[in-house]
Amino acid sequence: MQKNGPLALLFHGLVVAFVLAPLVIICLVAFTPENTLSLPTGGVSLRWFKAVFAHPDFVASFWNSIWLATLSATLAVAFAVPAGLAISRFTFAGRDALNALFLSPLIIPHLVLGVAFLRLFALVGATGSFSWLVATHIVIVTPYVLRLVLAALSGLDRSAEQAALTLGASSWTTFRRITAPMILPGITGGWLLAFINSFDELTMSIFVTAPATVTLPVRMYMYATESIDPMMAAVSALMIALTAAAMLVLDRAFGLDKILVGQR
């Protein structure tokens, strides 16, 4: 394979700088000792990180988001694994429709989903309910899990399952002892991807969260539209660190490019 020329490398350098610039500036500004958004030229300070942890709204929203992401990712797995088995293992009337239904949140703009959920919440009186918020996030993240589960199932050697059957295992034992361990990497990757997507979600959540259930991205959005002080940079830096950690785990375990291909 031909190597990249100097012009190509220069272009590449500019693209990388463009991609990293906003993230780098956040991480720098987060350490400023000043009261305004400025680069920490006169020394480094952790005061704005302390301010974040002392800010009850941010802390509450952080835990909201953690719980929300954990619950919705877990329940998404509970929906996606059986659905994936049904879709990949059986031919039945309505299979394509079922698949399309489960994957539809990927092509419906989150804005539209937010508006639709808001209407549903208003009619059933669910506004402010954390359980209903979890339900909306399950809808948004299940497709990510389902896609990885389907990929894992289609890459599976089915004769291993048949072998277990001929050795006397029941269907359930075969699933528990053979199929599940073999698709576990797909399920774990799906869970993590679902967690991150739920944790980061803003556009849909902003319509359906109530003061008690505000998630971290929604809190940050509200905060950023009203005031500009370096605390926002500190929260952002923390989120970048958290995402980077999750990303490294995902990449080491499954290869990030494989997981993200087609993700939106």
Partner 1 sequence: MAFLALERVSKHYGAMAAVDDAALTIEKGEFVSLLGPSGCGKTTTLQMIAGLVEPSAGRIVLDGRDITNEKPNRRGLGVVFQSYALFPHMTVAENVTFGLEMRRVPRSERIERVREMLALVQLSVFADRYPREMSGGQRQRVAIARALVIAPPVLLLDEPLSNLDAKLREEMQFELRRIQRKVGTTTIMVTHDQAEALSISDRVVVMEQGRMTQVDAPYRLYEQPSNAFIASFVGKTNLIAGVWRRDGMAGAVDIGGIRLEAPSADFPAGTPVTLSIRPEKILLRKAGEGQLDGRIASRFFLGSQWLFTLETPIGTITVSIPNQGEEPPAEGATVGLDWSPASLRVIASAMAHPGGGTA
Partner 2 sequence: MISRPSSRSSSPWLLAGPGALFFAGMILLPLALTVILSFRVYDHATGIKDAYTLSHYIAVVTDEYYLGIFWRTLRVAAMTTLICAVIGAPEAYILARMRNPWRSIFLLVIIGPLLVSVVVRAFGWSMLLGSQGLVNQALQLVGLSPVRLLYTETAIVIALVHVMLPFMVIPIWTALQKLDPMVEAAAWSLGASRFTALRRVVLPQVSLGMLSGCLIVFGLSASAFAIPGLLGGRRLKMAATLVYDEYLHELNWPLGAAIAIIVLVANLLIMLAYNRMVETRARRMLG
Site for partner 2 in 193-252 (CB under 8 A): 196, 199-200, 202-203, 206-207, 217, 220-221, 224-225, 232-233, 236, 239-240, 243-244, 246-247, 251
Q: Which residues contact 182 (CB under 8 A, 6 or more apart)?
A: 152, 156, 160
Q: Which residues contact 169 (CB under 8 A, 6 or more apart)?
A: 177, 178
Cα gap 73→203, rounded to integer Å? 18
Which of residues 51, 60, 66, 115 is near partner 2 by CB under 8 A?
115
CB of 101 to partner 2, least distance (A): 5
Give CB contacts under 8 A, 24+ apart, made by 36-40. Answer: 36/229, 36/230, 37/228, 37/229, 37/230, 37/233, 38/230
Judge contact between 35 and 24, C-beta under 8 A.
no
CB of 259 to partner 1, least distance (A): 21
Among partner 1, partner 2, none, what binds residue 249 when CB lies within 5 to 8 Å by partner kind? none
Among partner 1, partner 2, none, what binds residue 19 when CB lies within 5 to 8 Å by partner kind? partner 2
Which of residues 2, 91, 166, 225 is near partner 1 by CB under 8 A?
166
CB of 199 to partner 2, least distance (A): 8
CB of 116 to partner 2, least distance (A): 4
CB of 161 to partner 1, least distance (A): 8
Which of residues 41, 107, 131, 157 is near partner 2 by CB under 8 A?
107
Q: Which residues contact 5 (CB under 8 A, 6 or more apart)?
A: none
159 lies in the site for partner 1, by CB under 8 A = yes
Nearest to 57, CA basis, from 216, 209, 202, 230? 216
Question: Phi-psi region for residue 116, left (φ > 0), alpha (ψ -120 to 50) or beta?
Answer: alpha
Summarize as ranges the residues that interact with partner 1 (CB under 8 A): 157, 159-160, 162-170, 173, 177-178, 181-182
